[in-house]
Each structure stands twice: as C-alpha cells, then as structure tokens.
Amino acid sequence: MNFAAITAGVGLVGTLLAASLQGGPAFSGDLAASGIVDPMTTGGIAAAASAPRDASGDIRLIDLKAGATCRTEAPPADGGLKAAPLGTDCAKSPSLSRIAYWRSEPDGSLVMADAGGRKVLEFAPGDGVMYESVYPSNELITIVPARG
C-alpha cells in the first residue's frame, strides 16, 4: 500500500510539473506594468527600427541600348499592379525612368506601366535570363537575378 501511494503521488506531481512546463499562462496586459518585464532601458542595446529587408530575391534590370543597369526588389507575384521601387540608377535609362508600376501576368510575363497606368514595357520569361523585353520591339532590356 505504501508503494502504491508513493507511486501515485510521484505520478501526480510529474503530471502537474509537465503541464506547467508546456506553456506559460495567457497574459494580454502590459508586461512592464505587471512586473513580469523590467521596463528599464539600457544604452547597451539599440532598439530595432525594423527588420532588414531580405535582398536575396533582388533583380537587376539592364538596358543594353542605354548602357544603364539598376538593382531593385523582385516584382510582385500576386498579379496586382504595384508601385515599382526602381532606384535612381534606373533614371539613366530613358525607358526605365518612365516606370512607376509593374505587375506579373498569369502567363509569366511582366508588365511595366507609367504613372498614368499605360503600358511602357512588357517582358517575357527569357532563355538564360529571367526576363527579356518584348514590347516595344525596339527595346533591349533584360532582367537577371542580382548578385552581390
């Protein structure tokens, strides 16, 4: 009988301990006001403004006629018309300097538009590059993955 009581007691304590370790209590208040977190600020740790942008998916636009190249974020994959974050280096290209918006099409092409929403450039998936310009036909612009 003594062995059975001890075994049951140890089992109950172990169960309660395991349950308390699986997750903390739900708390929806101010942690600093509750005393759980020390609100003191030190100079040793700088506050993070925002998480750094992952640039591993960046692209490089190369205007072969103008000799201009610029790096930017990859175009949106959702198909919606989005603001194109083309930098000042793209301003060296007469064609790329007109770009304000872009979108990916369901067929895999990429369309770039001016501030009025009019199509300026269209790109098709390329052979050896990510995209090649196909509209207008006299453009020679390629898009490749940005490296370094």
d(CA 72, CA 84): 9
* pTM to 2 decimal places: 0.60
What 3-state DSSP class applies to 120? Answer: strand
Is residue 127 very low, low, confident or very high in pLDDT (cuts 50, 70, 90)?
confident
Collapsing DSSP to helix, strand or coil, 72 comes out as: strand
Please tell me the distance from the alpha carbon of residue 113 to that of residue 105, in angstroms, as a whole number.
13
Q: What is the mean pLDDT of residues 120-138?
A: 92
Find the mean pLDDT for residues 98-125: 92
Mean of per-residue pLDDT scores for the chain: 76
79: Cβ contacts below 8 Å, ≥ 6 apart: 103, 104, 105, 106
* Interatomic CA distance for residues 64 and 111, integer angstroms: 18
Q: What is the mean pLDDT of residues 144-148?
A: 83
Q: Is 81 helix (H, G, I), strand (E, B) or coil?
A: coil
Q: Which pLDDT score is estimated for 6?
A: 67
pLDDT per residue as tens digits for the range 36-54: 555 555 555 555 555 454 5
Q: Is the peptide bond before 75 cis (omega within 30 degrees of 0)?
A: no
Are the beta carbons of 34 and 27 closer than 8 angstroms?
yes
Q: Kindly state the greatest CA–CA separation across the chain.
A: 94
Kind of pairing, strands 131-135 and 119-125? Answer: antiparallel
Residue 128's pLDDT is 84
Instruction: List the end-to-end C-alpha distance of the chain, in Å, as a whole number.
Output: 73
pLDDT at 15 over 80: no
Whether 120 has a pLDDT exceeding 80, the answer reads yes
